[in-house]
Amino acid sequence: MLVNATNMLLKARDGHYGVGQFNINNLEWTKSILLTAQEMNSPVILGVSEGAGKYMAGFKVVAAMVRAMDESLGITVPVALHLDHGTYEGAKACIEAGFTSIMFDGSHYPIEENVAKTTELVAMAHDHGLSIEAEVGSIGGEEDGVVGAGEVADPAECAKITALGIDFLAAGIGNIHGKYPANWKGLDFDALEKIHQATGNIPLVLHGGTGIPEEMVRKAISLGVSKINVNTECQLSFADATRKYIEAGKDLQGKGYDPRKLLAPGAEAIKATVREKIELFGSANKA
Ligand SMILES: [Zn+2]
């Protein structure tokens, strides 16, 4: 059931668990995530980066595929279709295309410009029934060419953006996109507490969920994180299972070259990763 992400995240905040955002890249990814969320009776957020949107031939294609698949598979758990790290133009395009949620990432703009653009998009998103996430400060690592340095957001800027009426907030607390370096210092829980206090209990979003130790994830949830983004981890498990299939020569046996067979181990691996994360975040049976 396609819905915006506001209620599922308020419930998660009040129930002290997290909802996973799993990024999608194609039909197999989408199907694996939807089926697993349904099987575990968990709410779920499908994240779409601008790059993934382009890859899938546009946001309209993505919205049409997700809506049709949600219906055809008989998915009854709450599903939000969410733009991940949207530009101003991308956010507008997703509102038009039928997404149920957007993130506007104005973190690289001076705070005044981030405020101005976020204000405009909050009104537009809410007019159309979408939820909106905004971001303050920069989160480290690289996502579709956007590089950061594991920065920590300023609580005063977080309060300023929150006051614009956004539904959930992404704020850097030392987290990084992609694989974490060996010398990573871990999440900055002091910063998280300060941000949580400054932002009046708005659901907070933890980006770069891949590779954060489980204890840190649980602690972050206990300190106000309600949404955790997982992207790289599904990519790694998909690649790993696909490599094993090829290395075992299975594509050369019988009709093992059939794409439905070739992509099956990867699709199953994504399910396993999503299942693990839903357990860790505590959102099973919270649909
Ligand atoms: Zn992110």
> Ligand 1: distance of its center to the CA of 107 in Å?
11
pLDDT, position 107: 87
- Domains within the chain, CATH numbers bracketed: 6-281 (3.20.20.70)
pLDDT, position 124: 98
Q: Which token pair is 208? A: 């770069």
Strands 204-206 and 168-171: parallel
Helix axes 111-127, 88-97, angle to 10 degrees: 10
Asked if 84 is an active-site residue, the reply is yes
For 254-275, what is each residue's pLDDT tens digit?
Answer: 999 999 999 999 999 999 999 9
pLDDT, position 137: 73
Task: Say if residues 177 and 148 touch (Cβ distance below 8 Å).
Answer: yes
Residue range 48-54: average pLDDT?
Answer: 98
Burial (0-12, 13-18, 19+ Cβ within 10 Å), 185: exposed
Is the pLDDT assigned to residue 150 strictly greater than 90? no
Binned at pLDDT 50, 70 and 90, residue 147 comes out as very low
> Ligand 1: distance of its center to the CA of 149 in Å?
13
> Ligand 1: distance of its center to the CA of 148 in Å?
11
CA-to-CA dists, residue 61 to 32, 53, 125, 239, 285, angstroms: 18, 8, 20, 24, 30
Give the integer Cα–Cα distance in Å for 180 and 274. 19
> Ligand 1: distance of its center to the CA of 64 in Å?
24
Q: Which token pair is 286? A: 């919270």
Give the integer Cα–Cα distance in Å for 37 and 45. 10
| Mean of all residue pLDDT scores within the chain | 94
Out of 70, 84, 154, 188, which one is annotated catalytic?
Answer: 84
Give the integer Cα–Cα distance in Å for 223 and 220. 5
